[in-house]
Amino acid sequence: MLFFFSSGVLTAAYPVALGRPTWPTPQGDFKVVETRADPIWTVPKSIQREMARQGKEVKTKVAPGPDNPLGGYWIGLSMPALGIHGTTAPRSIYRFRSHGCIRLHPDDAAKLFPMVKVGTPVKIIYEPVLLAHLDDGSIFVEANPDIYGLAPNAIKDLRALADSSHISNMIDWQRVREALERKDGSARDPTMPVATPVLSMSSISPILNLAFRPRVRAVAKDRRKSASCHEIRHALRNARTC
């Protein structure tokens, strides 16, 4: 998911497609360095070599139009050949299919583009497993397939995180194990049915935050999520995570 913040407030959230396991999207802190509507795609040398290996026509540039994989909008980041853009393959959204870039549905790219300016900070994080403690005392855990193989000890990491936050006794760990087994991307509540003190959580967020994970099942078939779902997602991203 891509989360857009304005003055620290979540104002938009969009599903994305990301780098395939053999061509992962990089993590880290970046900045927007350029924005272009109807972009020309300058094909990276690495992709040209892939075209040659696959016996395809090797292209060096692709003009704007229906055959341009960048779609109608390009938001370039402070790493060569890395950016956020539209796509001519909207069915790839929620999947790991790109050469490392972040793809948006064409409609979402058109909405995001005018909100982003050069210099906007971008943070890309990989969080297949999330743990959040909300202000009302509820706890949520979300588990997704570990596509990049970077979180092999999920249950151990979650226990360590819960211990450090002094909430281990508030969690039904059997429910957590079930969530980890399902890995369906749904936020599940493993809170023990016992009243306990509430811990506050940080609300500091970057303006543009990309938390990427595979989507096995959508929370709703309509890509436009409800406000309550956005609030839960926002809380999960602002909580301490594994």
Distance CA 219, CA 131 (A): 18
pLDDT digits (tens, 9 = 90+) for 130-153: 999 998 889 999 999 999 999 888
Overall average pLDDT of the 26-43 stretch: 97
Distance CA 151, CA 41 (A): 34
The three-state secondary structure class of 74 is: strand
Confidence of residue 127 (pLDDT cuts 50, 70, 90): confident
Least trusted range by pLDDT, from 21-35, 43-57, 113-127, 144-158 = 144-158
Catalytic residue check, 101? yes
Name all domains of the chain by residue range, CATH numbers in brackets: 2-125 (2.40.440.10), 128-202+222-238 (no CATH)
The three-state secondary structure class of 179 is: helix
Overall average pLDDT of the 95-118 stretch: 97
Catalytic residue check, 234? no
Residues 99, 101, 229, 234: which is the catalytic one? 101
Distance CA 105, CA 109 (A): 6
Within 8 A by CB and 6+ apart from 137, the residues are 170, 191, 195, 196, 197, 198
Residues 85, 105, 133, 234: which is the catalytic one? 85
pTM of the model: 0.76
Overall average pLDDT of the 6-22 stretch: 95
